[in-house]
Amino acid sequence: MTYTKSAPSAPSARALLRRTRVVIPALVAAALLAIPASSVAAVNPAGPAAGAVKAAKPTIVLVHGAFADSSSWDGVVARLEREGYPVLGVANPLRDLAGDAAYLSSVLDTIPGPVVLVGHSYGGAVITNAAAGHANVRALVYIAAFAPDQGESSLGITGEYPGSQLPSSLVVRPFPGGQDAYIDPSAFRKVFAADVPAREARLLAAGQRPVAVAALAAPSSAPAWRTIPSWYLVAAADQAIPPAAERAMARRAHAHTVTVPGASHAVSVSHPEAVADLVGAAARATG
C-alpha cells in the first residue's frame, strides 16, 4: 500500500489570533527588558539624548496674550515653518503672571538648543519673566506686547498712556478665587482686531480666552530684556496697548524696532508676514 504525505492544514484565523495575542506581548516585553535603564531618557535637556541634539535653526517659541489662543499665530507659524524653523506655540494659562511665567519656564526646560522667545500682548510680560535663567534663550521678540520693567504691571503701563479702548470694553466675570476679564464681543473688533475681516473678528471674539484680572495687575520681576537682545513690533493703530507705550517700551529695552502702519492689536493675524519677518531677523542675528 502506498502512502502519500499530505500537507498540514492551514491554521484557522481564530488559532492565529490566539497565537498573536500570546507571542506579540511576549516579544515586546522581552525587547523592553533588554533595554538598559540608563539608555531611557526623559524629555529633559540635561539628559544624554537632548545633549546630542543640535538643531540647525533655533526653536521659535510663540506665547499668545490675553483674549487669544495659540491659533492667533497660525499665519506666522506657516511662514516660519516654510523657512525651516521648528515652532512651538505655548498655551499661556492666563491665570497669574508668576504662575504663567513658571509654566513657560518649565516648557523652556524641555527644549534643547537655542530658542527665540516671542510674546504678544500680555504674553510679552510672561516672556519677560520666564526667560530668566535660560541661557539658551537667544532673543526676545515683542509683538505689540508688554515689556515691563521690575515692579510694573500690564494695567499700570496701559494707564500711563492715553488712547487705550480696552479698560472701558472689558466684561468681568467671577470665578472661584478671582475674576476673569473678557472683551465685550460688540467692541472686540474695534478694540482688538480692527484690520481683521469682520467675519473672522466675530470668530475671534466668540473664542477669546479670558485673562485673570490679577494677572494684568501683578508686578513684574527683573526683566530679561536687560540681558537678552530684543526686537519689537509696534502696531501703529493699536487700540488695546497705546502705540506710544509700545514705542516707549521698545526704546527702553534698546530693541530693534519695526512699525506696521495701520496694524491693530491682532497684528499676528492681520500681518503675519511682518511678524514672521521680524522673528526671522531675530533668529538670524542671534543664531
Percent of the chain beyond pLDDT 70? 81
* pLDDT classification of 14: cutoffs 50, 70, 90: very low
The DSSP H or E segment spanning 172 is strand 170-175
Please tell me which residue, 19 or 202, carries the higher pLDDT value: 202
pLDDT of residue 27: 38
Flag whether pLDDT at 254 surpasses 60: yes
pLDDT of residue 194: 98
Flag whether pLDDT at 9 surpasses 50: no
What is the side-by-side order of every strand in the sheet holding 115-120? 87-90, 59-63, 115-120, 137-143, 230-235, 256-260
Mean pLDDT of the chain: 86
Average pLDDT over residues 245-256: 98
* Widest pairwise Cα distance in the chain: 111
What pTM does this model have?
0.82
Rounded to an integer, what distance in angstroms lies between the CA atom of residue 159 and that of residue 157? Answer: 5
Flag whether pLDDT at 16 surpasses 60: no
pLDDT of residue 267: 98
**Do 143 and 267 contact (CB within 8 A), yes or no?**
yes
Flag whether pLDDT at 157 surpasses 90: yes
What is the Cα 33 distance to its own chain's centre? 38
* pLDDT classification of 56: cutoffs 50, 70, 90: confident
pLDDT tens sequence across 97-106: 999 999 999 9
Flag whether pLDDT at 72 surpasses 80: yes
Q: Residue 208: name the closest of 182, 174, 239 by CA.
A: 182
pLDDT of residue 226: 98
Average pLDDT over residues 212-237: 98
**Do 148 and 157 contact (CB within 8 A), yes or no?**
yes
Average pLDDT over residues 109-125: 98
* pLDDT classification of 12: cutoffs 50, 70, 90: very low
pLDDT of residue 135: 96
pLDDT of residue 287: 76
Average pLDDT over residues 204-233: 98
pLDDT of residue 11: 45
Flag whether pLDDT at 2 surpasses 50: no
Average pLDDT over residues 141-168: 97
Question: 180: which strand partners?
Answer: 173, 212
Flag whether pLDDT at 211 surpasses 90: yes
